């Protein structure tokens, strides 16, 4: 039986965990990264057309390399190295609007940008995981991702062009510089359930499937839904996703990771199967994909790697997951949608989702049985106490 009071208490505890300045620092920097990648096409249009693909390829490639470098090298979150990271963000923001030669501009953007966006991402996200236990990891991760995307959504209407993007990145980076150096969250080194590399690879593979599906759903919306409806449907998807991040995080802690993971892929597979059978006529119901987006994002970026990796291994898998989440930008920029007809897209997506569902059936639950059994026992004892008090 679901104990809503305890679930609310879990959210309250999670809210305390995200008040740490290191967590706030992580939220702001991850929001900047998502904001820049969402506007990368706009940035590229400020450069001459013959350098467009060179800029995009260099920027994305170097960002991937810096994320991987940050994953393998443990960077300090104080002192001169952190300051260099933050100053690189200021240089990047100023170079967006500086009257530079195209070649110089590409060089500066592709140096300062990746350093400021990617180098610290694995480290700061890993610190968020390290400060959690099995019992509250889902709640903290869900609330953390909710705050990241809320910040992105709140500032996005203000970012109408490159100039506004430069001002926003500059302002947010200034804010991170003045955040005080607070004590790093306690690391619960014993709070993990190690699993072999092949299991981790399967988790990464099904995450890539969702990222791929998420991108093509955006393409399908754009092709099949009138622009006036598109805004409403996108808003509904985002709001559904934000709600799911918070609630889904708590559910992960109470019922385990696998059930929610299986549900997310199975229901999406069924939805896209119905859309395929209708010839795209039921495309509007796909806004409920927001539930899966809200549930799977904290799971694949944070929760899983806290569950199954040693603390020293977590930055590597966090970094890879972030890279995969940004890969939808590459699909968009390089026009992958032109290689497949829009109606052929639906059966392909449904097939991929059912493939992921099949794989999940054979993957283990990452939340240990002892944690679930302990929670069930606590609820049983609480119920017994209530019954005893009632008949006293």
Structural domains of the chain, ranges and CATH numbers in brackets: 4-391 (1.20.1250.20)
Q: Which tokens hold the place of 182?
A: 């607070």
Give the containing element (helix H, strand E) for 35: helix 21-38
Residue partners of 376: CB distance under 8 A and separation at least 6: none
Contact, 336 vs 272, CB < 8 A?
no
336 HSE (CA, 13 A, CB side): 16
Contact, 301 vs 323, CB < 8 A?
no
| CA 217/CA 269 separation, integer angstroms | 12
Positive or negative CA dihedral for 34, 37, 42, 48?
Answer: positive
Could you give the 3-state DSSP secondary structure of residue 190?
A: coil
pLDDT at 315: 92
pLDDT at 91: 92
Contact, 144 vs 302, CB < 8 A?
yes
pLDDT at 355: 93
| CA 108/CA 85 separation, integer angstroms | 14
| CA 106/CA 86 separation, integer angstroms | 20
* Residue whose token pair is 């796909």: 286
Positive or negative CA dihedral for 376, 377, 382, 386?
Answer: positive
Q: CA separation (Å) from 223 to 147, 229, 230, 349, 362?
A: 31, 12, 10, 16, 36
Per-residue pLDDT of the chain (392 residues; tens, 9 = 90+): 455 566 666 666 667 767 777 888 889 999 999 899 888 888 888 888 888 888 888 888 899 999 999 898 877 766 677 788 888 889 999 999 988 888 899 899 999 989 888 888 898 898 888 888 888 888 999 999 999 999 999 999 899 889 999 999 999 999 888 876 655 556 666 667 888 899 999 999 999 999 888 877 777 777 777 777 777 877 888 888 899 999 998 889 888 899 999 999 998 888 888 887 777 677 777 777 788 889 999 999 999 999 999 888 999 999 999 998 887 666 665 554 444 556 677 788 888 999 999 999 999 998 887 777 776 676 666 666 767 766 66
pLDDT at 100: 84
| CA 58/CA 107 separation, integer angstroms | 9
Closest by alpha carbon to 363, among 270, 252, 257? 257
3-state secondary structure 118-148: HCCHHHHHHHHHHCCCCCCHHHHHHHHHHHH
| CA 36/CA 118 separation, integer angstroms | 11
Return the axis-axis angle of helices 21-38 and 137-155, rounded to nearest 10°: 50
171 C-beta neighbours (distance < 10 Å), count: 12
Return the axis-axis angle of helices 137-155 and 4-17, rounded to nearest 10°: 60
| CA 64/CA 321 separation, integer angstroms | 11
pLDDT at 272: 83
């Amino acid at each position: 039986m679901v104990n809503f009071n305890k679930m609310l208490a879990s959210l309250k505890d999670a809210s305390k965990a995200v008040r740490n300045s290191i967590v706030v620092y992580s939220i702001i920097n991850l929001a900047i990264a998502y904001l820049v990648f969402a506007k990368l096409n706009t940035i590229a249009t400020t450069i001459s057309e013959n350098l467009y693909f060179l800029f995009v390829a260099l920027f994305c490639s170097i960002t991937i390399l810096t994320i991987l470098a940050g994953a393998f090298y443990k960077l300090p979150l104080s002192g001169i190295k952190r300051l260099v990271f933050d100053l690189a963000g200021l240089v990047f923001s100023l170079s967006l609007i500086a009257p530079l030669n195209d070649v110089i501009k590409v060089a500066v953007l592709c140096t300062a940008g990746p350093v400021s966006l990617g180098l610290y991402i694995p480290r700061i996200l890993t610190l968020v995981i390290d400060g959690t236990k099995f019992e509250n990891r889902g709640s903290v991760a869900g609330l953390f991702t909710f705050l990241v995307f809320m910040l992105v959504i709140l500032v996005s209407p203000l970012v109408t062009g490159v100039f506004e993007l430069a001002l926003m990145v500059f302002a947010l980076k200034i804010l991170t510089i003045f955040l005080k150096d607070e004590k790093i969250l306690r690391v619960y080194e014993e709070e993990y359930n190690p699993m072999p590399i092949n299991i981790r690879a399967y988790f990464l593979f099904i995450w890539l499937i969702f990222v791929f599906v998420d991108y093509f759903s955006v393409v399908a919306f754009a092709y099949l839904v009138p622009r006036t409806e598109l805004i409403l449907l996108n808003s509904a998807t985002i709001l559904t996703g934000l709600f799911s991040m918070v609630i889904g995080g708590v559910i992960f802690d109470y019922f385990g990771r696998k059930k929610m993971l299986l549900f997310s892929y199975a229901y999406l597979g069924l939805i896209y199967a119905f859309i395929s059978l209708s010839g795209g006529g039921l495309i509007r119901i796909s806004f409920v994909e927001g539930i899966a987006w809200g549930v799977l994002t904290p799971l694949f970026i944070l929760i899983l790697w806290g569950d199954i990796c040693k603390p020293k291994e977590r930055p590597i898998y966090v970094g890879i997951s972030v890279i995969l989440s940004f890969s939808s930008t590459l699909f968009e920029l390089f026009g992958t949608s032109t290689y497949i007809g829009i109606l052929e897209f639906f059966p392909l997506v449904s097939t991929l989702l059912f493939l992921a569902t099949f794989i999940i059936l054979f993957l283990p639950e990452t939340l240990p049985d002892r944690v679930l059994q302990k929670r069930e026992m606590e609820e049983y004892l609480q119920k017994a106490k209530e019954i005893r008090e009632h008949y006293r």
